[in-house]
Amino acid sequence: MFSPAPLRAAGLLSLSVFVSACSGQASESNSDPVTAISPDELTLLLQQPDVTLIDARSPDAFNGWVFDDGTLQLQQQGGHIPEAELFSARWIERKLDDTDRAWMRTGADKDDLVIIYGNGQGQANTVAEWLISEQKLEAENLRILAGGFPAWSEDSGKADFLPGFRTLVPPQYVGAALTADPDTVVVQIGWDGGKGKDYREEHIPGALYWDDLEFEYPPIYEASPVEDIRASLARLGIDKDDSVVVYSTESIGAARGAAIMKYAGVDDVVMLNGGIDRWKAAGLPLESGWNTPEPVKTFGVTGAGDNSVIINIDEAKILRQQPDSALVSIRAWNEFTGQVSGYNYFEKRGRIPGALWGHAGDSSWDMNHYHNPDHTMRNYHQIAEFWSEWNIRPEMQLSFYCGNGWRASEAWWYAQAMGYEKSTIYSSGWMRWREDENPVASGELTREQALEEWKQLESALL
């Protein structure tokens, strides 16, 4: 258990603020004192055992985006205090599902000293109040960083940040990007046979609609030939040199569409972190109806698609024969072990032998292992941690797969942002692997057994 005695002896624990049990604001008269500390005191405390540091700001600020009085600063880079865990006050304010699970993911023990910071004091107060009222933490085990992240940044130091944070953008980015470059294209990805029902009801003003049947085809929804994809993008008014912001109602749809665009040759593609629900939560405007695109004459590039983004089944087989390489299954555990297929239109179960489990969620549509309560990207340190447990490392040649590429695309997008630069998507996934009568495996297994299976396969192939 953490003991603050050495710091008290040094005269470093002195100032207290009061957290209201109902308002989340600092108070002169309420009964729960929470000590405020300086950046210097924070530095000393972080050298002690059993201390958890909490960043109460938005996931975007944690990743690296800078907001000045609520205005996004496109050219600046921020981040978070090293060793901080993300737990946003906004999740509490919005009363989101999975907030309790997000707190558990921080790894904080009830006896830890918990230090909280925000942009100022309000966000930290909100989290402190929630921890006292909902998690039954003692106020004496909480600290708030006076002045928040700006005070720490001015006083000390170098922030940690998601290396590719600029590929995963906050809602405020869209307006800022359109102001900076009026030719920026905003695209909503959908998958209802081209009807665009959700899009017609509400979408980001000016956004275009791109249905999945424009870039993949049944029965197992593999990516279309790359020239067909390029022709579809040209009809949408997009060429290889455009800047594109992609979003959807579900992040796997946005990631699938964004990855397909990059595979076709659009270099400047970013994804809205948290999708349209996050846009709405920010109170930003919506419109209804249909925006008709103005086609371009040519997409601007021909030839094979970019195999640093998507590889085919033959390339996936070759990758499995390379040292320090692996296919990574982005499927629910019961899909990975062959208990269910995961799809109502594809019954065959199992996994690719030697695949490593990269986590996913609870179903073929769910990616909650990768998501915060607001469906933004989870703390990337935590993703790296559960990947590392399965020997999935940034220096390896990796190719993510799922059933047919959707969940794999989201994992790949995050991997690229995290600096796993050698990763690709085996887009045709389990379905094509199984349809072509390749070797399969199934059955419950431990992590150690799965790693041994991978090592034996790698050794045999070499």
Q: Which amino acid is at 263?
A: Y
Question: Is 148 strand, coil or helix?
Answer: helix
Which helix (H) or strand (E) covers residue 142, if one does?
Answer: strand 142-145
151: how many CB neighbours lie within 10 A of its CB? Answer: 16
> Mind telling me the catalytic residues?
402
How large is the greatest C-alpha to C-alpha distance in the chain, in angstroms?
A: 74
Angular region, 302: left φ>0, alpha ψ -120 to 50, beta rest: beta
CA distance 248 to 315: 30
CA distance 196 to 210: 8
CA distance 282 to 375: 14
CA distance 373 to 281: 13
Question: Is 39 strand, coil or helix?
Answer: helix
- The gap from C-alpha 118 to its chain's centroid, in whole angstroms, comes to 20
CA distance 59 to 65: 9
Do 109 and 103 touch, CB atoms closer than 8 A?
no
